[in-house]
Amino acid sequence: MSAPAESPDTRYAELVHDAERGGLACRGGFHPGPDDAVPALPDGTRPGTLVLLGFVGDRQWDVFRRAPEAADGLADPLDRWSRRVIDALGARHQGFGVYPNEGPPWWPFQQWAMRAERIHASPLGMLIHPDYGLWHAYRGALMFPDRLGLPPIESRPSPCERCVDRPCLRGCPVGAFTGTGYDVAACASHVRSAARVDCLEQGCEARRRCPVGAAYAYRPDHAGFHMRAFIGRRRSAK
């Protein structure tokens, strides 16, 4: 029989505190079942808890920008920094890291995110949060052998349900988002060829058109980092 879950104000609260100090936000968690496709622990057993970690707005961005990975000139600085920080958290809290850039197989982070907190799919395909809008990200997760006490997940509807105009879909300069798909090639071509400071330096214009969570929108240096990484991945894949 599994041990009873702890109160959410004990081990999980300590993890939240240490994650914030390290530059990451705890993005909720859940107790995995057989259908959640969570990998096994190193000893082959099923995890009792999975907690996601990431960014909300710009709050954690400056911690990364001061890190050695941000200035060493090597590939994938944010992924390397995320792994270092999350692995250190795991060592401190007896957890084991798992990352969205590992694979194949590619772990279903979007599926896990919708189990961990009340977020929803948006017309752009990105997950939208009722408070942060489209301005958040998942950098990895920690698996724990036992069942940590977790805060309850508040039931909140998708903000897209009451959005009639869908400015996100109309905001893309090349119509890359249709509501049913995403034309990656058209998006990448536009970003590479843009002569003015728009999607490349300010971030995706369609994303910026969404009014939800506007106060959390990424600064230009944060948004531009991700857009340049996107273009770099497209070039290396050719």
Asked if residue 58 lies in contact with residue 216, where contact means CB atoms within 8 angstroms, the answer is yes
Give yes or no: residues 109 and 17 share one domain: yes
pLDDT band at 1; cut points 50, 70, 90: very low
Give yes or no: residues 225 and 122 share one domain: no
Give yes or no: residues 184 and 226 share one domain: yes
Give yes or no: residues 205 and 126 share one domain: no
Of 116 and 5, the one with more pLDDT: 116
To the nearest whole number, what is the mean pLDDT of the chain?
A: 91
pLDDT band at 2; cut points 50, 70, 90: very low
Q: What's the pLDDT score for residue 195? A: 55
Number of domains in the chain: 2
Please report how many Cα atoms fall inside a 13 Å half-sphere around the Cα of residue 193, on the Cβ side: 8
Last residue of a domain, one of 114, 144, 174: 144
Q: Are strands 136-144 and 96-98 parallel, antiparallel or unpaired?
A: antiparallel
236 pLDDT exceeds 80? no
Which structural domain, as residue segments, surrounds residue 222? 164-237
Q: What's the pLDDT score for residue 237? A: 53
Residue 36 domain-assigned (yes or no): yes
Q: What's the pLDDT score for residue 201? A: 86
Give yes or no: residues 22 and 138 share one domain: yes
* pLDDT 10s digits, 113-160: 999 999 999 999 999 999 999 999 999 999 999 999 999 998 899 999
pLDDT band at 231; cut points 50, 70, 90: confident
* pLDDT 10s digits, 49-87: 999 999 999 999 999 999 999 999 999 999 999 999 999
Residue 157 domain-assigned (yes or no): no
| Burial zone of 1 (CB within 10 Å; 0-12 exposed, 13-18 middle, 19+ buried) | exposed
Segments in the chain forming alpha helices (H): 11-22, 61-65, 77-93, 109-116, 167-171, 184-193, 199-202, 205-209, 220-237
Q: What's the pLDDT score for residue 208? A: 95
